[in-house]
Amino acid sequence: MAIRIYNNVDTDYICSECANEVFLRASICEHCKERLTGFSGKSTSLNVSKKTDYYNYELEKVLGKKIKTGLICPKCESPQKNNDAEFCIKCGESLFPKKLIKIKQCPDCKSNYNIDDIFCDKDGKKLINKKIEVDDDNPNYKIINQKKSERKNNDSSDELPMNWYRFITYIMCPISMIVSFGMMLLPYSEPYSSAYYLFDLILICILYNGLTSKTSWSWKLLLVLYVLNSIFGRIDYIEEWGPILYLMFVLIVNVSTTFPNYLYFNKRKHLFIN
């Protein structure tokens, strides 16, 4: 896990794992995919601007490790393979764009002076206003992702246990499919009951396929099925219990099942990326 380190000068946050900028409300760093938790204290805050030469040095002191910088295209923001490149490898744009600045220039010897100077100190001529192109002061070097060779795979059970996911995927889903299929074929089943169990079987098959592939929507579908089951699973009791008691039952079931599952899968949503 990573923490947000606050830069008092630039008033933004960076990830303590990869040193890239992160948003205050982000739960996962979009660069290194580390889970973000908490905030840094004063002892791990920065007071140096990213525009100074000392930023990387100060950042390395805070993180306690070396950071890696790379050349980024100012147009398409693609990282470059070589830090001595002049043009973007992806779009061909100049990596060091020029900018116009105002100066004073001697009309005879062409010497350049600051904008507040008036006369040339070589020949005494009065200086004239001039605009010239110079290299941008910011050479577009940025912190790039660091891949740690010792880092374990994101789906490692040592980092985020996946036992409940495996139980739901490989035990609960197959059992539910067998039960739904069996209930659908019972000889005394009503036509609407058979249609209900067929629909249930189709949804569970879709859920099983999504969970095994770790698609981003699969765990959300699981939550939807929990909610639907809590609402319609005991719908025949609504006349016996009454609407209020039945609503309380639905709320209790969702608090005890759906909400814990939401917390569990939401922490692991970065693993469901297909």
- Using pLDDT thresholds of 50, 70 and 90, give the confidence band for residue 167: very high
pLDDT at position 128 is 94
Q: pLDDT tens, 120-150?
A: 999 999 999 988 877 664 445 454 443 333 3
- Across the range 83-99, mean pLDDT stands at 80
Tell me, what's the pLDDT at 44? 58
| Residue of 84 and 48 predicted with greater confidence | 84
Q: List phi, psi (to 5°) of 16.
A: -70, -10
State residue 142's pLDDT score: 52
Query: Which pLDDT band holds residue 39 (cuts at 50, 70, 90)?
Result: low
Q: What percent of the chain has pLDDT above 70?
A: 78
Strands 69-71 and 112-113, bridge-based pairing: unpaired
Give the dihedral sign, CA 32/37/38/41.
negative
Helix, strand or coil, per DSSP, at residue 208: helix
- Residue range 260-273, pLDDT digits in tens: 999 999 888 877 86
Alpha helices in the chain (DSSP H): 55-63, 163-167, 173-185, 191-213, 218-232, 238-241, 243-253, 259-267
pLDDT at position 171 over 90: yes
Q: What is the pLDDT of residues 181-196, one digit of tens each?
A: 888 777 665 656 777 7
Q: Is the pLDDT of residue 41 over 60?
A: no
pLDDT at 48 over 90: no
**Mean confidence (pLDDT) of the chain:** 78
Tell me what the mean pLDDT of segment 204-209 comes to: 91
Distance CA 73, CA 92 (A): 9
Q: Looking at residue 116, what is its pLDDT?
A: 87
Return the pLDDT at 274.
54
- Structure confidence at residue 252 as a pLDDT band (50, 70, 90): very high
Whether 21 contacts 13, CB under 8 Å: yes
Query: How would residue 156 be classed by pLDDT, with cut points 50, 70 and 90?
Result: very low
